Structure 1
Amino acid sequence: MTFKVGDKVVNSVFGRGEIVYGPYDTPGGCGYFFKGDDGHHRTVSGSLLTPAATFAVGDKVKGRYSGATYTIEAGPFRDGDYEWYATKEEDGRVGHNGADSLTAVEPEAADEPVKVGDVVRILEDYAYHADVKAGDLFEVKSACTDDFWDEFRIKVNAGPGARMSEWTFRPQDFEKVPADTVAVHDGVVYDLSARYRDQDGDYWALRRNPEDSSVVQAQCTPTVPYGWCGFTLPEAIEKYGPLTRV
């Protein structure tokens, strides 16, 4: 069987890899330059190569044209260059499909539990009787299963002027915010996609330093087109704060 550059193959000695050059003639027959999954390049004989399977038994796949979801039951089987699999539909019926008519279904990533230090966004006004608005951001100070209700709860520090020092929320009251889209300074959460206004009425934009993501930069918005060369977020707050989201 002849392979081409880019084909995924299995070498009987070195395992899975990819053809990066070839075929070319050798005294022992057809040869290839092969890059293994371990990153090493090797010269290999075509007689020791077989096509790598596109899918494995147990994989979830979807029909490119039908949209139906299947489970790979057996295979791969080959008829010349044609690769096919026995597939089971969700109702239990077993049939067969060619590899080129199937796409892999990526497994859903399990939601990571919310933990202390995460930032959450409130989903509705006055969630769980707290004096909050949809979109408010808070840093999680406590996250555990409530003993009385036997349900997961988080606690956050309440906003200025609140009747209590902290608020409690249920899972339906909030969503976890990606850490790289926000910054926390002195217990206050800043949304890097929002604009802020200082005590003089000037507007500020925030971003993570492209060269050091641990540093959050702050710049007056009229000067942003001329480069981010101004303050860090703590420096801007100290000199011109408080910064209020607008």
Structure 2
Amino acid sequence: MAFKVGDKVTHRTFGAGEVAFGPYLSAFGGTHYLMAGDGGKHYIVGTEEGELKPAAKFKVGDKVRGLYSGALYTIEAGPFFSEIGEWYATKDGDGHVDHNSADCLTAVEPQTDTALKPGDVVRIPRDDLQGADVKAGDLLVVKQLDGRDTVVVHAAPGARQYTWYFEPENVTKVDADSVAVVDNVAYDLFVKYRDRDGDFWRFERRPDGEVRGNCAASQYSTVRIDDYHDTLAETVREYGPLTRV
């Protein structure tokens, strides 16, 4: 495999580095490169029997987003290198595994800010938490923070009151990329929903940030979601309420 100056690579002996010069034909035979390693050290390296390999852009378990589809994926296997470049086996929110080129994926940074603020979404860990009319796995939108000791959330539609109050340590902040909020109701972008007519909807966040969905008679539909599909807000207001499948 050919490399060029600036390529990130991994050498089986010297580890991670970057191509600083090459390729060139060595007096020792074969194609060689000058690789810049850690600590400013440089190494003359060859390419025989997999001695030098491209550095992987992602690793198994990484969360990534499609640059063109806007869909969220988890890296299931890889990297794989072929004539068309680096690619990975990826799993979408429905559990379907496909392949994607590394050039068509971008990393989703893990959420490190756990502090809550109004508009954030939290996950409920168990049924009837603190006496509230909630179920394990419910996603609720933070309305306000009442001092340090209480998180006030909007109750789910149909609950016996409009708000619930929880201790901060009893709820978990949800990654904003995995949910969308309409009219103070949180929707999970990794599951399907059913509208009032019984049709199924699958939603995803497009590259422009807008969440759009596809309507189908079957929950197994895998039609690609494009910019002409209904937005989540339109779907909720025209076909709601939406029920999680």
Q: If the length of structure 1 is used for normalisation, what is the TM-score?
A: 0.52
Residue aligning to 1:208: 205
Partners of 1:233 and 1:187 lie apart in 2 by 13
Superposed displacement of residue 159, structure 1: 3.2
Give the SS at the match of 2:151.
strand
Does residue 1:239 correspond to 2:234, yes or no?
no
The structure where strand makes up a greater share of residues is 1
Residue aligning to 2:141: 139
1:174 to 171, 181, 187: 171
Q: RCO higher in 1 or 2 (8 Å CA, sep ≥ 6)? A: 2
Partners of 2:160 and 2:222 lie apart in 1 by 43
Partners of 1:21 and 1:138 lie apart in 2 by 56
Give the SS at the match of 1:124.
coil
Superposed displacement of residue 228, structure 1: 2.2
For 1:183, give the aligned amino acid: A
Q: If the length of structure 2 is used for normalisation, what is the TM-score?
A: 0.52
Cα 1:109/1:233, change in 2 over 3 Å: closer
Give the SS at the match of 1:193.
coil
Moved more, 115-124 or 158-167: 158-167
Unaligned runs of 5+ in 1: 9-15, 26-31, 38-48, 53-107
Residue aligning to 2:162: 165
Is contact 1:6–1:18 with CA below 8 Å preserved after alignment? no
Superposed displacement of residue 162, structure 1: 4.3
2:215 to 215, 220, 223: 220
Partners of 2:146 and 2:22 lie apart in 1 by 56
Give the SS at the match of 1:225.
coil
Partners of 1:109 and 1:243 lie apart in 2 by 28
Cα 1:33/1:144, change in 2 over 3 Å: farther
Is contact 1:126–1:132 with CA below 8 Å preserved after alignment? yes
Partners of 1:109 and 1:190 lie apart in 2 by 19
Give the SS at the match of 2:177.
helix
Cα 1:135/1:51, change in 2 over 3 Å: same
Residue aligning to 1:44: none
Cα 1:240/1:161, change in 2 over 3 Å: closer
Cα 1:226/1:218, change in 2 over 3 Å: closer
Cα 1:166/1:225, change in 2 over 3 Å: closer
The alignment's C-alpha RMSD in Å is 3.7
Is contact 1:219–1:231 with CA below 8 Å preserved after alignment? yes
For 1:241, give the aligned amino acid: G
Percent identical pairs in the alignment equals 42
Q: Which protein is bigger by CA-based radius of gyration?
A: 1
Unaligned runs of 5+ in 2: 1-8, 27-32, 44-109
Cα 1:126/1:18, change in 2 over 3 Å: same
- In the TM superposition, 1:31-42 aligns within 5 A as none
Is contact 1:124–1:173 with CA below 8 Å preserved after alignment? no
Is contact 2:126–2:137 with CA below 8 Å preserved after alignment? yes
